[in-house]
Chains A and B, each alone.
Chain A
Amino acid sequence: MGKITYKRLKGSQNMRQRLLLATLKSTPVLIEDIHADDTLPGLRPHEISLLRLFEKLTDDCLIEINETGTKLKYKPGIIVGGSHLVHDCGVSRAIGYFLEPLILLGLFARKTLVIILKGITNDSKDPSVDTFRSTTFPLLKRFGVPSEGLKLEIKSRGVSPHGGGEVHLAIPTVQHLTATMWTDEGMVKRIRGEAFTTRVSVQLGNEMIYAARGIFNRLLPDVYIASDYRKRSEAGNSSGYGISLVAETTSGCCISADTTVSYPRGDEEEDIEGEEKKELIPAADVGEKLASVLLEEIEKGGVVDSTHQGLLFLLCALCVNDVSKVRVGKLSPYGIETLREIRDFLDVQFVIKPDPSTGTVILKCWGSGMKNLSRKTT
């Protein structure tokens, strides 16, 4: 009765998927060797923030971290959700990092989740909040999530290093997710987007839009990119600009790409805009490059872009006991890691078949039959 058997894992990789799946399946996990060999060992601030968020949403969960922070014991509780929740995501990762697990967690909560998230809204590492609105939510609808309850409002934008953004998120609960057969990727019929600027000139936004359009115009006339100019309180604490684009296809698939340019934070940040620490990439280049990224995503094919592969696989695996079939482009490393975690936690394996003629991959799985058990019956 008293003894809890923990699933033993190693390293901080896939922390989000592991915690998410552990919570959904209510498997206690024990993670060791978290950044053990680094100069600064132990959990990173965003990982701790993530744990706090999980603690906030669940009832009676147990989190134990050893002194050095290299070992984590997590015994999940029951997902409660609820409204009037506030979470400060910190400035080490963007809100997108937290949103990805949060969305799935919210679906299987007892009460509808309404939460205010504070921190960095746009980042080059994580999908931006605009992408969530434009691409992730339509993706959820495919799996039987009611569209009325899904809401994401951007109250203010914040970019790294100092953040200061705020979004209001509402996620409805579901009884279960429905399986989907989603292999028709369709043809791109329109491209939409949003270019934002915080604490910088409006002109930069327009430059990005102009540059991006320059690339798309040769392929498609239906391109509309809105500009979102934020100032004063709505603009967060630091200056930056970015753009997010979505290509919609005839079969209702959304393929997105986004990026943000801002000053890197302090000392630890080197990899993304390493070459030019002082100067930011010119806006026109950003627009052009992102447009190219989007075209590359389109070229890869599949019903979702590479960023959303992980989420798509998770959704497929959490469906009722039916067959789901989806087509994605080249498997992304994140997608592959997610597949492995799904296998380990949910015992769901995908049949993965390459489609050589189009360079895409078709995945098939038998849903795990996850049901929302925490919902109260009347």
Chain B
Amino acid sequence: MAMDSGADGQSHKAHRSRHSGASAKKKTKAKNKDQNSDQKQQNPKAFAFRSNAKAKRLQSRAVEKEQRRLHLPVIDRSYGELPPFVVVVQGPPQVGKSLLIKTLVKHYTKHNLPDVRGPITIVSGKQRRLQFVECPNDINGMIDAAKFADLALLLIDGSYGFEMETFEFLNILQVHGFPKVMGVLTHLDKFKDVKKLKKTKQRLKHRFWTEIYDGAKLFYLSGLIHGKYPKREVHNLARFISVMKFPPLSWRTSHPYLLVDRFEDVTPPERVQMNSKCDRNVTFYGYLRGCNLKKGTKVHIAGVGDFSLAGVTGLSDPCPLPSAAKKKGLRDKEKLFYAPMSGLGDLLYDKDAVYININDQFVQYSKVDEMGGTTNKENKRDVGEDLVKSLQAVKSPIDEKLEKTKISLFSHNGRKRRKAIFGDGVDHSNLKSTDEENEGDEDDDSDNDNDEGENDRSNEDNESCSGSEFSDGDEEDLKSEDDRSNEDNESCSGSEFSDGDKEDLKSEDGMGNISKWRASLVERASKKQNINLMQLVYGKSASTSNTSTNEVKDDSENEESDEDEFFKPKGQRAKNSIEGLGGGNINTEDCSKSTKISELKNWKEEEVYESIRDRFVTGDWSKGALRNQMSEAKTEEDDIDGDFEDLETGEKYESHQKDDSSNGGIQKEDDDAIEERRLKKLALRAKFDAHYDGSESPEEETDVQNGGKFHRSQANDSGYYDKLKEEIELQKQINIAELDDLDKTTRLEIEGFRTGMYLRLEVHDVPFEMIEYFDPCHPILVGGIGLGEENVGYMQTRLKRHRWHKKVLKTRDPIIVSIGWRRYQTTPVYAIEDQNGRHRMLKYTPEHMHCLAMFWGPLAPPKTGVLAVQNLSNNQAAFRIIATAYVLEFNHAARIVKKIKLVGYPCKIFKKTALIKDMFTSDLEVARFEGAAIRTVSGIRGQVKKAAKEEIGNQPKKKGGQAREGIARCTFEDRILMSDIVFLRAWTQVEVPQFYNALTTSLQPRQKTWQGMKTVAELRREHNLSIPVNKDSLYKPIERKPRKFNPLVIPKALQADLPFESKPKNIPHRKRPLLEDRRAVVMEPHERKVHALVQHLQLIRNDKMKKRKIKEEEKRKEVEAQRAKDEQVLRKRRREERQERYREQDKLKKKIRRHVEA
């Protein structure tokens, strides 16, 4: 502030560095250190690898790191202008999402946004546009938002910490391709304590890192100033966003999709009046993203369902890049933002109308003006003002008027409205129905014939106006021009053309007035070599930008219009056979061979075989080579002329021909070479750019540091990788070159609508609920359905229960899955793959393992991520994501099995054969299981033979009862017992329920939770039912009765033969013991003495032994105590030694590392 212009000459005091004091000391120290380290490095020998193995290990590690860095290069097929990047702002409620968007919009456009509704497109730089979307807070909205986000800003309330929404959203993002993520901490002004703030930041940051990757960006917004985030911080955030790169995600690069930023109901009002609940026709507007959209593509509207497109139209970009937009005048302001749902942007372009948004005050002003009737002001009036007034004066809405006027003009043929593109910026002459203007606008260079034709047509009534059909682009422009500038609406609608008209004009009706210029053309056309082969092949071309796709396509619809005949040159008449093929017989035999042996030239004649001499290596090589090049060059020439089909080009074309022939092939050759070189150069440049960008990324930089000196040597070796990249780049350049060759309409036909285009999609028969419950805060996602994705079938996925979900998942419990664009409820059957490849059903998912989940639903290609949710309600506190998965394969039949055990009991036992009952219910069943392995409880193995014969197994029949079926004859490896139970173990197929229920959340009020099929548990809870118990499954105490064996009976005959020893002795039981057992023993006196002495001696000995034992015990204890003491001391010493050693080693290591790093 103090500085003024006068202070220029004032010299500032230079900085004086310290020569003494603490800081000076520090500096000198640092300097010395540096020098020391430098000196150290000068001795290379000291820091060479001492160990061979270590060097090898280090090197291999470096190589591995290098390789791990490489990724398969992804082909980016989006050519031309990129669509705006979608920035999704997500966070729990009350965290400041809308405010952030508002401040960012304010930062970019200097406009205040009243409220954030729907996507907001802004221009953020010369080459970059952004589209801000606020993520709704329910899980459905979050899932949809994750599917279109290019960058997700996760807003986190710093004062509260993380909330589950953030983690849920992160998980959803991960499953659906993981776009770029940046965290933003808000509410940091709630902290009073600086230290606490710092700690919280640190904690949150680290938690964030564990979830994404170390070093993920977390942005801090320190607080609010006047209810806004600080300018400087928003500026920084904007800078972060503007330098961000968005890697292509595989699902999105293979599917076209649209984030709808404008949405209209275009149902005829009468129909709505008749029945307010009739199916509606709606239009969606948005930038095409992902990949090119072909016309026949079906689309899925998230939360509504699948629809086929009734019409696609490319519109002019409502928010063009500053580089692309052409300023028409100084008054034209650059349109920096576009947000129709938020009510921003003053002009809305539709395919057949322009809507103008006027504030109330302006309306008032112009009305007053009108009433006042100031005549002298009339001349000065602005064009825009005029337009607004004329629009206001209109009594009936534009739609109706258009309808009417159309009828009055073209009443003789009921035609459709012509859709148009506001495409190219070429400002064309407005072909009004007045003659003078037309004359004035004639191109000077057009020859007489052309003039004539033009006049003819312009002298006609309005219909002739539609005769200006030779260039589509012009028409479109003309239309837009008319729409804006014409005062009277008759002429406005007069410029509406339709295909039908064009066709009419071409056919007999129009013949009268066109015949003149046609007649003059005949000769020329017959000379012309360039007939439109495409028309011959594909019938009449529907080469307009919009299409209506028919389910039932009638092939062979090429009626031969006279025009075709007319344009056919004499030389190509032979092609008539082609035409004939399409028209008549629908049952022609299909043969790929077509040559008829009968009509051949005589190749023995010299001039005949000499004519193709140059096609052989024995011929003239230069001529042969010329053939290729010349033709190539010529085709390019054709392209240029090919767009025009009238007389003018005939001349031009001829001249080109002459040029070619005169200049000869040499120049062409050069051109060719130049062209090729140019392509290669482009490819190289692009590759270099890509590489350069890559090395700029922070990850790589760190790698460079870590990899040390190995990095450079490795870079040369990655030749394969480079080659791959080069190939991709070359292919891309070829594609661009080839596509640029084509004119606009053909290009549209060939590659569909390109990404980055602003499209209008019309969809018919949408349920009226979509209109009724439409909420601009919930963005609509329209995704294109890829190849084979509209079919339903079984999908096998590899699923893992989310570790934060508290329960395991039960088979056949309905879950809501999100695959690709879709969300639907389905009933999975979980399974696991056994060693032998069998898929065994699981009743519940494993707790910490992956398992297979098979379910029925619309198919998604393999490797698509799947997200499973069970509860959609918002008030559920816990984590709502229950599992994540990815699709392994899809097939039409489920092959999951479960174990089945058939139990049977023997009813008759022969030696090793037994008849088993109760295992099967019929003889047919037995026949099915012939040869199956069975087993008894005791482990005897056997085999099912056949159904038992009646006379053996069926006792009941003999008694006059019904023959019992299902008794099987089985053989075993040993004889089984009657008490044995026989098992047959088998596998039975498990049916996966063919059920899926699309989530129609857009067809109901947003706050209502969607209710689908309920789980069994939920139903039980609702109806207060207890869990049914199978009594047999309950555990009971096992009762084992003591087994009673029958006494052993030995047959008499056998007994007689046995030796006496083994014979059972039948001694009767005595009442009194034997005499031997009863008598007492009396000792002699001497014997008694001896006995007593022995007893004494024994007593003494026992006592002695006892004493000795006690003594030994004491001794042992003493020794043990001593040993323990010693041990302790020893251990302590050892530990100290070890510690010392480790410390030493550590030091050494550190030193070495430092040296290596240095």
| A interacts with B | yes
User: Which A residues are within 8 Å of any B CB, using their own CB?
Assistant: 1, 5, 7-17, 25-26, 33-38, 59-60, 77-78, 100, 110, 124-127, 179, 181, 183-189, 215, 218-221, 250, 257, 259, 289-293, 295-299, 301, 306-311, 321-323, 325, 327, 331-334, 336-337, 339-341, 343-344, 347, 349-358, 360-362, 364-366, 368-371, 373-377
Please indicate the chain A residues that have their CB under 8 angstroms from the CB of B7 in the complex. none
Cβ–Cβ contact A353 & B731, under 8 A: no
- Given known A321-B291, A340-B537, contact A351–B586 (CB-CB < 8 A): no
Q: A37 — which chain B residues lie within 8 A by C-beta? A: 587
CA distance A127 to B591 in the complex (A): 9
Within 8 A of A (CB), among B495-511: none
CB pair B862–A293 under 8 Å, yes or no, is no
Q: In the bound complex, how far is the Cα of B615 from the Cα of A297, in angstroms?
A: 11
Please, how many angstroms separate the alpha-carbon atoms of A158 and B693 in the complex?
62
User: Size of chain B's interface in residues, with CB distance under 8 A?
Assistant: 91
Closest Cβ–Cβ distance, residue A267 to chain B (whole Å): 17
The residue in chain B whose Cβ has the minimal distance to the Cβ of A214 is B604
Please tell me which one of the listed residues B551, B632, B731, B862 contacts residue A183 in the complex, with CB atoms under 8 A apart: B632
Task: Tell me the B597-652 residues at the A interface (CB within 8 Å).
Answer: 597, 600-604, 609, 611-619, 621, 624, 627-628, 630-632, 634-635, 638-639, 642
User: Cβ of B750 and Cβ of A349 under 8 Å apart?
Assistant: yes
**Least Cβ distance of A6 to chain B in Å?**
9
**A306-B553 in contact (CB<8A):** no
Q: Give the top 6 A-B pairs by smallest Cβ distance, nearest first.
A: A11-B586, A60-B892, A356-B529, A352-B533, A26-B788, A347-B296
Q: Establish whether residues A187 and B615, one from each chain, have CB atoms under 8 Å apart when the complex forms.
A: yes
Tell me, in angstroms, the Cα distance from A277 to B292 when the chains sit together.
Answer: 56
Across-interface contacts of B581 in A (CB, < 8 A): 333, 336-337
Are the CB atoms of A35 and B587 closer together than 8 Å?
yes
Given contacts A59-B893, A351-B534, contact A289 B553 (CB under 8 A): no
- Which residue from B609, B621, B791, B996 sits with its C-beta under 8 Å from A187? B621
| Minimum distance in angstroms from A287 CB to a CB of chain B | 12
Chain A residues with CB under 8 Å of B531's CB are 354
A183 to B632, CA, bound (A): 8
Q: A185-B628, A364-B742 are in contact. List 20 more A-B contacts (CB 8 A).
A: A1-B996, A10-B555, A33-B587, A59-B891, A60-B891, A186-B624, A188-B616, A219-B616, A220-B616, A295-B612, A327-B631, A331-B533, A336-B578, A341-B555, A343-B538, A344-B555, A366-B752, A373-B861, A373-B862, A376-B889
CA distance A94 to B587 in the complex (A): 19
Question: With an 8 A cutoff between CB atoms, is B974 at the interface?
Answer: no
B739 near A339 (CB under 8 angstroms)? no
Among B297, B588, B631, B890, the residue within 8 A (CB) of A358 is: B631
Say yes or no: is B396 at the interface (Cβ < 8 Å to chain A).
no
| Residues in chain B near residue A188, CB distance under 8 A | 615-617
The yes or no answer to B594 lying at the interface (CB within 8 A) is: yes
Given that A9-B555, A126-B593, A331-B578 are known contacts, is A215 also in contact with B604, CB under 8 Å in the complex? yes
Chain B 986-998 interface 0/1 with A at a Cβ cutoff of 8 Å (1 = within): 0000000000100
Q: Which residues of B contact A33 (CB under 8 A)?
A: 586-587
The reply to whether B592 and A311 form a contact with Cβ atoms under 8 Å apart is yes
Question: Is the beta-carbon distance between B594 and A347 smaller than 8 angstroms?
Answer: no
- Alpha-carbon distance A179/B732, docked complex (angstroms): 11
Q: Are A250 and B593 within 8 A (Cβ)? A: no
Residue of B nearest to A361 (CB): B533
Residues of A within 8 A of B556 (CB): 10
Cβ contact within 8 Å between B631 and A364: no
What is the CA–CA distance of A221 and B630 in the complex, to the nearest angstrom?
28
C-alpha spacing A9/B587, complex, angstroms: 11
Query: Is B402 at the interface (CB under 8 A from chain A)?
Result: no
Using CB atoms and an 8 Å cutoff, list the residues of chain B in contact with chain A: 77, 254, 291-292, 294-297, 529-531, 533-534, 537-538, 551-553, 555-556, 575, 577-578, 581-582, 585-588, 590-595, 597, 600-604, 609, 611-619, 621, 624, 627-628, 630-632, 634-635, 638-639, 642, 731, 734-735, 738-739, 742, 746, 749-752, 787-788, 791-793, 861-863, 886-893, 996
Assess the A13–B597 pair: CB atoms within 8 A.
Answer: no
Residue of B nearest to A354 (CB): B533
Check A349/B638 contact, CB under 8 A, given A13-B587, A322-B735, A370-B787. Answer: no
Contact B792 A306 (CB under 8 A): no
Residues of B within 8 A of A352 (CB): 533-534, 537
Chain A residues with CB under 8 Å of B618's CB are 219-221
List B contacts of A377 (CB < 8 A). Answer: 862-863, 886-889
Q: Which of A1, A7, A368 contacts B551 (CB 8 A)?
A: A7
Tell me how far the C-beta of A39 lies from the nearest C-beta in chain B, rounded to whole angstroms: 13
Q: Which of chain A's residues have a CB closer than 8 A to the CB of B537?
A: 331, 336, 339-340, 350, 352
A362 CA to B750 CA, complexed, in Å: 15
Determine which of A309, A356, A369 lies in contact with B530 in the assembled complex, contact meaning CB atoms within 8 Å: A356
> How many angstroms from the CA of A361 to the CA of B572 in the assembled complex?
13
Task: Evaluate contact between A333 and B578: CB separation under 8 angstroms.
Answer: yes
User: Contact at A296–B600, with CB atoms within 8 Å?
Assistant: yes
A373 and B892 contacting across the interface, CB-CB below 8 Å: no
The residue on B at minimum CB distance from A311 is: B592
Quick one: closest A residue to B602, CB to CB? A292
Q: From B586, B621, B735, give the contact of A323 (CB < 8 A).
A: B735
Q: Is the CB of B595 within 8 A of A297?
A: yes
Q: For B886, give the chain A residue with the smallest CB separation.
A: A377
Residues of A within 8 A of B534 (CB): 349-352
Using Cβ atoms and an 8 Å threshold, which residues of chain A touch B621? Answer: 187
Contacts of A77 in B (CB 8 A): 892
Distance between A63 CB and nearest chain B CB, rounded to angstroms: 14
Give every chain A residue within 8 A of B619 (Cβ-Cβ).
187
CA–CA, A69 and B848, complex, Å: 56
Tell me the complex Cα distance, A25–B790, Å: 10
Query: Do B617 and A220 touch across chains, with their CB atoms under 8 A apart?
Result: yes
Give chain B nearest CB distance to A303 CB in angstroms: 11
Q: Check A298 against B891 for contact (C-beta < 8 Å).
A: no
- Bound CA span A291–B892, Å: 50
11 contacts between A and B (CB under 8 A): A60-B891, A78-B890, A183-B632, A289-B600, A292-B601, A333-B594, A352-B537, A354-B529, A358-B631, A373-B788, A374-B891
Is the CB–CB distance between A126 and B587 below 8 Å?
A: no
Closest to B994 in A: A1
Determine whether the beta carbon of A308 is less than 8 Å from that of B889.
no
Q: Are B891 and A12 in contact (CB under 8 A)?
A: no
A5 and B631: CB pair below 8 A?
no
Pair A183/B628 contact, Cβ less than 8 Å: yes
Residues in chain B near residue A344, CB distance under 8 A:
553, 555
Beta-carbon contact of A125 and B593 below 8 Å? yes
- Bound: A298/B597 CA distance, A: 15
Which residues of chain A are near B892, meaning CB under 8 Å?
Answer: 59-60, 77-78
Task: Please name the residue on chain B nearest to A289 by beta carbon.
Answer: B597
Closest residue of B by beta carbon distance from A293: B595
Chain A residues within 8 Å of B616, by CB = 187-189, 219-220
Q: Is the CB of A347 within 8 A of B862?
A: no
Given contacts A297-B595, A321-B77, contact A12 B630 (CB under 8 A): no
Neighbour of A293 across the interface among B597, B624, B788, CB < 8 A: B597
**Given the complex of chains A and B, what is the CA–CA distance between A236 and B1093 in angstroms?**
118
Q: Distance (Å) between the CB of B114 and the closest chain A CB?
A: 42
Q: CB distance A12 to B638 under 8 Å? A: no
Given contacts A59-B893, A325-B738, A349-B749, contact A334 B592 (CB under 8 A): yes
Chain B nearest CB from A250 CB (Å) reads 7
Q: Which residues of A contact B612 (CB under 8 A)?
A: 219, 295, 298-299
A127 to chain B: which residues have CB within 8 Å? 592-593
Q: A9-B555, A292-B600, A352-B534 are in contact. Are A299 and B611 (CB under 8 A)?
A: yes
Are B587 and A351 in touch, CB under 8 angstroms? no
Q: Whole-angstrom distance from the CB of A240 to the nearest CB of chain B?
A: 16
CB of B827 to closest CB in A, whole Å: 14
B533 and A34: CB pair below 8 A? no
Greatest chain A CB density within 10 A among B594, B615, B731, B892 is at: B615
Residues in B neighbouring A189, C-beta threshold 8 A: 616-617
Q: Find the residue from B296, B531, B616 having the highest chain A CB count within 10 A.
A: B616
How far, in Å, is B274 (CB) from chain A's closest CB? Answer: 27
